[in-house]
Chain A
């Protein structure tokens, strides 16, 4: 080992010393006053070397981030750092915010265009990775993993809770209308609306199909590329669920209603769990075939989990595969926020609409739960808080519901009940995405 270090040290020393030797030679002669002729020649040579070096440095400087930085780049880098900070300090979805934050920094390092560096330059490595976002490849793979993770048994035990997942989708369609009124055209509005579905992969899937900057509208203009803003808005509001939802819950649900205890869900047999993905796959995709990539993979993943024979595949899907895709998706979505494309008025509007759609979706779920309670009697009554879990954001919104219920009654455990509208919210938002796609795609 010692020998290795010595050999390596000598080689590196030689490399360092080589240009210095060359320079020394010329300076030696430069200092030497004896021969004038050589002096002149060598002075010019020396100046040439200096000038060249200086030009080189200047050129190098022109290629650095310091020379090309714009205000937008710096703002976005700051936002990236804030994302990472939020993920680490407050534990808001760190698995998403940290890759996205790092991606935002990567995407906003200033560079000279034309060297296949940036994410939007054809042929760059980042561009190849971004391909999976633009073509909607990553979201179905994420859904496969989610399917292999999710236990639908609370939903099977209490199928009526599925309606809460549908009720929260009102946020999608309300935002869609809002975006239309703000002057976005139909496909763009559809892609913006899906932020209300509170489902990152679905939002990316739909925006990559509708607002990808490639499609041409009937009136001849090209749609804007809104994948970056939509994905960032969807993921950041998903991370902010613990901040956004509790005030709305307290506003809409009375103290007594918050204390309602639900009867424990019945045990679900393995057969029912196996039938669920098959039946749900057939039914939902026959209704909304455009959502096939999402729902197909979701229920396929769930079948892998529940069949009991493919534990290896399910295990890979819910651990390694989803991790790999999350890394790629997070970084590339983050990097797609290159300042000159991201910092626009549209992005600000999208962020505003996203917040509103989250609020509307939460309200829709809560109010529909109250409405359902009017028709339910005795211990069949549901705690209206679980309506808020209808905005997918699995499993964060279910956890928020659980925590909120514990505040008013420390022995009321709603987590299992809240998972039912939570997972049906995923199904609901995927169906909604399919419908919007079939209308506008």
Chain B
């Protein structure tokens, strides 16, 4: 019984260790990721622009331009409009609807049966 309790207490103290380290690691990794995207990526894109532009151009001429008015909501509205346009084109379908007879292609699997009632 004592052994069991000891074991249990050990487990719980280890549990706390895992709790603290685990939360710390989860937080720190997501913080790092968010910092990377907040500061790292814009910087990298900026460097990329400098590299790809001609050297004689001044840095301030190629500063990152962020269009404040062009937000994600505008993108969503445009893409919804396109999506609806592409998906609701049924009104413009070819109006000629006829039933075409499909020719049966020969198949060895049904050849015997085919032979007995082939009188279309």
Contact = CB atoms under 8 A, between A and B. Distances in A.
Interface of A: 1-4, 153-157, 159-163, 165-167, 169-170, 172-174, 176-177, 180-181, 183, 185-186, 189-190, 219, 264-269, 271-272, 275-276, 279-280, 283-284, 287-288, 416, 424, 427-428, 431-432, 435-436, 439-440
A276 B42 CA distance: 12
A428 B30 contact: yes
Nearest to A417: B72
Contacts of B116: 3-4
B72 A159 contact: no
B62 interface: no
Most A CB atoms within 10 A — which of B8, B32, B33? B33
The interface size bin for chain B is 35 or more
Contacts of A186: 11, 14-15
Contacts of B29: 283-284, 287-288, 431
Given A183-B8, A272-B45, A267 B27 contact: no
A431 B25 contact: yes
Contacts, number: 135
A153 B48 CA distance: 20
Contacts of A154: 72
A169 B30 CA distance: 11
A180 B15 contact: yes
B45 A173 contact: no
* Interface residue SS majority, chain B: helix
B47 interface: no
A399 to B, nearest CB: 15
A372 to B, nearest CB: 12
Interface string B8-39: 10011011101101110111111111111110
A279 B40 CA distance: 10
A432 B22 CA distance: 7
Interface in B32-72: 32-38, 40-41, 44-45, 48, 66-67, 70-72
Most B CB atoms within 10 A — which of A166, A271, A287, A427? A166
